[in-house]
Structure 1
Amino acid sequence: MQAHFENIQRISDMTTLPHAMLSLSSQVAEELDVMNLAERLMKGKGRPNTLASSERLELWDRLKILSPSVMQLQDP
């Protein structure tokens, strides 16, 4: 009986869990929307009057916090 449940657990770990983690990581990355923040900063880089100094700082601060979270989700 124990061997049966261990086999079921192994199958789950190999199939269901990776699929669920991939789905979860893509949803979290979408919610964090780091690319949008980076694009806003890049657009402001070429045109200094586009973003206020305080807005640039706020975007950088958000990126510093969110980027490591996204990178951890993408690691295998």
Structure 2
Amino acid sequence: MFDPNALCSQLEQEIQASSEALNAKKDEVAVRAARLREAETEATLLEGSIMQLRRTLNRIRHSMAQSQQASEQSKSAGSES
């Protein structure tokens, strides 16, 4: 026989189980989103560090080039005397 109460009870249980599964997925997505935000922040900080290191490297290269040029000028001035 058809029991509407049993059917309603079964549907309520299925709805409850689906709702709990949905909430678990939402929690999982929230955790993943937080990790992604953290990774994006870390990537931004690393990009800033890389840019700063490049600027430092360029200053060092420029300084070395100036030093070498001064040394070469000094040598040529010394050989002229």
- Please, what TM-score do these two structures have when normalized by structure 1? 0.38
Higher-helix-fraction structure: 2
Question: Normalized against structure 2, the TM-score is what?
Answer: 0.37
Which structure is higher in RCO with an 8 Å CA cutoff and minimum separation 6?
A: 1
